[in-house]
Amino acid sequence: MDDRFRQQWEANAEAFADLIAESGTPHHRHILNPCVEQLLGDVKGKKLLDAGCGEGYLSRYYAGKGASVTAVDLSERLIETSRSLAKREGIIVEYRATDICHLDSIPDHEFDIVLANLVLLNVPCLREALREFYRVLREGGHLVFSIVHPAFNLYGPGSWEMGEKDPKTGRREGVYFKVDKYFDEREYERYWTTRTGERFPAAISFFHRTLGTYLNALIASGFNLVAFREPQPTADDAFFDREHRIPFFAVFKGEKG
């Protein structure tokens, strides 16, 4: 990948780690993570590659579940944060700072599972990454990857029309979601905000692609599609009113045949 993508995550590493806060945001914990865990199944005794591990909370979680985990990320600062947190918790994970689109240090057929959680929407090299995931998986191994749902993507061509803030939830009411130019696949730069509402130090690149592009790229890489999910919140909580109405995430599971 171009070095500017590495620089984005290096600049944002501290803010991102603070946002994740060792367990993920409410959207991760109550919508995405339960779906990912269901699709992964029992990981005990399996070799798992966390491709684009970020702050590393899923690496630590699945290592705690008995997986032998290797975690890679483009940002050396995030890898150092991940390594430090794992050491503090007494969890063994192998960490490497590397590009998921060029996993040159990893031999063929090395892993039972590849997990790419909210990663592929931030890379320009979707097809190269999927081919690498296919290469490093053993026969019958599985890839589970998640993205922000491209039909309702806040980091692409869509946005909520907002109403007043609900004093009970602290979130503004979603009147309706508006989307246009869904087929216009291109890069967007967006700033995330911290838990206290401050802007991240640098903009982050997001690549809007259609669901068809993701599905066809998965199949073209040699995978068989096993499952596709648009997870809903696991609790009937007014905080997630918007996410009960339209899907925030899309999750794919492929098998190496």
What's the pLDDT tens digit per position in 200-246? 999 999 999 999 999 999 999 999 999 999 999 998 999 999 999 99
User: What pLDDT was estimated at residue 155?
Assistant: 86
What's the sign of the alpha-carbon dihedral 250, 144, 129, 2?
A: positive
What are the CA-CA distances from residue 95 to residues 14, 112, 161 (Å)? 18, 17, 41
- Residues lower than pLDDT 70 in the chain: none
User: What pLDDT was estimated at residue 4?
Assistant: 96
User: What pLDDT was estimated at residue 118?
Assistant: 98
pTM of the entire predicted model: 0.95
User: What pLDDT was estimated at residue 168?
Assistant: 86
* Structural domains for the chain: 3-151+208-256 (3.40.50.150)
User: What pLDDT was estimated at residue 6?
Assistant: 97
CA dihedral 151, 243, 248, 65 (to 10 degrees): -160
